[in-house]
A and B are shown apart, each in its own frame.
Chain A
């Protein structure tokens, strides 16, 4: 189990190119994550074109470094500016910012960094142990199971996106539609091409992702009123004393556990994991009144949970092809782009590549620790860069990146078109992640649905006769119907509670 991990780790450590890519990815990822307005997803999306020309191994090492470090980077801005750089950092600011305000910014960042490292390593350890087991169990998957796993993934991502699940599913449907543009893989019939040769080649995932998550965000940022760069507090000393650090091992361990398992549930994601772990620490604390005023365990536990989610979220993505959140969806897209389909067969056919993912993540977590201890003061300096300069730089990166994929103008126009789509969707408060995911998974879904129907002779019952496919279908239905049912129950309760209200209102002296 660990042989491919160690050999891949040795490959990274002895290859200057991979080493530089990973360290470079960590520095870029931390800085992007630390900048308010740039999420981990945006960081991954705008760097996808850079990874396009790399070998699959190098691309994964680079993207995992960006992903893992941007998760921690988000906490730097949460602590220093009271603005979470990524959704998983939303709780870190509760205690991180008060600590920074009281002159202990360096300590808060270091506690977050150490907790993040521990959480990241724990998540990775669980990934290494659990993933092969799940992949082994999923070896019996055939087309109906794969089709339903894709449906489950789409529904879960719609469920976890902001706004209603129903709208998320509709956005996923738009993504599926975009994924069908061009030649059909099984029959060579061209669809939705409107006579254009560019559309016959299909809509590529990279320009779509760059447009939706990259340029659309830039446009939204530039549409906001200009804000001055917030004052970054002084860092003070970086390393907290041992007596502060030592008692934190318990919150860190509890946070790691919560993060890994919540992260592994598709649709739960880091934002839920950090809230659960923060609430748990408050409950277990003898002095809960310190929380929200700069309690170190209020940083340590959620931060560990936040980074542990990375390993957790990779479990369903790698073993079943069901990404737990937007970031893993983009990572999965990158894998597919390089011709590698996540799922049980990846473990059987490409154990070395799986080892490379493990060791890439391990190295990313370790490099995040080392680079941040060494460079945190420089990273804080970069955070003072005015936002408009960064956004224009990213806009240029989006165009140059889309162009560089194939040296083609049509990729640039696809990127610009989806930037407009993403911008409009932002105005309409529609989630963009399911759209991208629909495009990424559309071809897999269609291929497996049709293959199942070919084998079953056109019988749709094939999806409910096989127990695992049925279970996944039912889970999708639960995710889809739960919000409707919950709203209905709330409405009924509200009506019951409101029933005696007129009498009470009548007695109101006002």
Chain B
């Protein structure tokens, strides 16, 4: 996005162009509620652990002890999380802030996260499979499967288009297996299963 010609000051022209390139997003109250809860979740887990650990509060002489920093940091997190949550709830009740343009169903909102979540699950299984069938085979299966799935191979017409996509996927898989093998086994001599 080029700067607007004719703007009074160069700084303004650049700022206008940058704004157009990346418009600033205003936080919705609903998202801020989630932000507050996200921060408080960390704080709650932290407080539970601190409360259950009596050794933290022993006598350490002149050392303020291992409880000092956790308590200070958890206090900051709790106060910050509560402040964000409270402000967001007030905004939500008042109906302030930008509203979502259109109402979407829960399923429609989850759909964009389906592929990332599936990737995560397969990645969690991938090292176990690596132990069972070896690095090269496991990586080949993982990479080839995902590339074919994401390339929309199933929807391609039979014949040349499918063949080309398959060849590209196999080529990319071979490249990934070889690059990772070279990086880890050859260069840094890390033992892979």
Taking Cβ atoms with an 8 Å cutoff, the residues of A that contact B are 50, 52-54, 90-91, 93-95, 98, 166-167, 169-170, 173-174, 176-177, 180, 184, 186-187, 189-194, 215, 218-220, 222-224, 226, 275, 278-280, 282-283, 288-289, 291-293, 385-386, 388-389, 392-393, 395-401, 403-404, 407, 409, 412-413, 416, 419-420, 423-425, 428-430, 442, 445-446, 449-450, 453-454, 457-458
Cα–Cα, bound, A189→B25 (Å): 44
Residues from chain A with Cβ under 8 Å of B146 in the complex: 388, 392, 395
Complex contact A457–B77 (CB within 8 A): no
Cα–Cα, bound, A193→B55 (Å): 13
Residues from chain B with Cβ under 8 Å of A220 in the complex: 116
How far does the Cβ of B137 sit from chain A's closest Cβ, in whole Å?
13
Complex contact B184–A404 (CB within 8 A): yes
Residues from chain B with Cβ under 8 Å of A191 in the complex: 49-50, 53, 56, 66, 70
Complex contact B38–A424 (CB within 8 A): yes
CB-CB nearest in chain B for A289 = B5
Complex contact B17–A94 (CB within 8 A): yes
Of the candidate stretches B89-97, B100-108, B156-164, B185-193, the one touching chain A is B185-193
CB-CB nearest in chain A for B175 = A393
A278-B10, A292-B3, A396-B139 known; 17 new pairs, CB 8 Å cut-off, are A53-B188, A90-B18, A177-B77, A189-B53, A222-B150, A278-B14, A279-B14, A291-B5, A389-B168, A392-B143, A393-B175, A397-B180, A398-B123, A404-B184, A429-B31, A450-B64, A450-B68
Q: Looking at B35, B66, B126, B150, which has the most chain A CB atoms within 10 Å of its CB? A: B66
Partner of A446, one of B53, B69, B74, B77: B69
Cα–Cα, bound, A386→B151 (Å): 9
Complex contact B176–A449 (CB within 8 A): no
Cα–Cα, bound, A359→B15 (Å): 37
User: B39 within 8 Å of A by Cβ?
Assistant: yes
Complex contact A166–B119 (CB within 8 A): no
How far does the Cβ of A220 sit from chain B's closest Cβ, in whole Å?
7
Complex contact B14–A275 (CB within 8 A): yes
Cα–Cα, bound, A288→B2 (Å): 12
Taking Cβ atoms with an 8 Å cutoff, the residues of B that contact A are 1-3, 5-6, 9-11, 13-15, 17-18, 21, 25, 27, 31, 34-35, 38-39, 42, 46, 49-50, 53, 55-56, 58, 60, 62-66, 68-70, 73-74, 76-77, 80-81, 84, 112-113, 115-116, 119-120, 123-124, 126-128, 130, 135, 139, 142-143, 146-147, 150-152, 168-169, 172, 175-176, 179-180, 183-184, 187-192
Cα–Cα, bound, A425→B39 (Å): 10
Chain B interface mostly helix, strand, loop or mixed? Answer: helix
Cα–Cα, bound, A416→B130 (Å): 16
The 8 closest A-B pairs by CB, nearest first: A292-B2, A282-B10, A219-B116, A404-B190, A184-B66, A388-B150, A279-B10, A53-B188
Residues from chain B with Cβ under 8 Å of A222 in the complex: 115-116, 119, 150
Cα–Cα, bound, A217→B122 (Å): 17
Residues from chain A with Cβ under 8 Å of B151 in the complex: 386, 388-389
Cα–Cα, bound, A458→B66 (Å): 14
Cα–Cα, bound, A396→B136 (Å): 11
Partner of B2, one of A215, A226, A293: A293
Given A53-B188, A389-B147, does the pair A430, B62 have CB atoms closer than 8 Å? no
CB-CB nearest in chain B for A386 = B151
Residues from chain A with Cβ under 8 Å of B21 in the complex: 90
Chain A interface mostly helix, strand, loop or mixed? Answer: helix
Cα–Cα, bound, A192→B44 (Å): 12
Cα–Cα, bound, A412→B126 (Å): 10
Complex contact B10–A283 (CB within 8 A): yes
Residues from chain B with Cβ under 8 Å of A280 in the complex: 10
Complex contact A404–B18 (CB within 8 A): no
Given A399-B126, A416-B120, does the pair A404, B66 have CB atoms closer than 8 Å? no
How far does the Cβ of B89 sit from chain A's closest Cβ, in whole Å?
16
Residues from chain B with Cβ under 8 Å of A170 in the complex: 39, 76-77, 80-81
Complex contact B179–A393 (CB within 8 A): yes
Complex contact A400–B135 (CB within 8 A): yes
How far does the Cβ of B178 sit from chain A's closest Cβ, in whole Å?
11
Complex contact A173–B70 (CB within 8 A): no
How far does the Cβ of B40 sit from chain A's closest Cβ, in whole Å?
10
Q: Looking at A192, A401, A449, which has the most chain B CB atoms within 10 Å of its CB? A: A192
CB-CB nearest in chain B for A218 = B119
Cα–Cα, bound, A385→B150 (Å): 14
Cα–Cα, bound, A430→B34 (Å): 11
How far does the Cβ of B49 sit from chain A's closest Cβ, in whole Å?
5
Given A94-B3, A187-B65, does the pair A50, B119 have CB atoms closer than 8 Å? no
Complex contact A409–B31 (CB within 8 A): no
Q: Looking at A95, A291, A419, which has the most chain B CB atoms within 10 Å of its CB? A: A291
Residues from chain B with Cβ under 8 Å of A404 in the complex: 184, 188, 190, 192
Given A174-B77, A222-B119, A450-B63, does the pair A407, B180 have CB atoms closer than 8 Å? no
Residues from chain A with Cβ under 8 Å of B17 in the complex: 94, 292
Cα–Cα, bound, A53→B186 (Å): 12
Residues from chain A with Cβ under 8 Å of B64 in the complex: 450, 453-454, 458
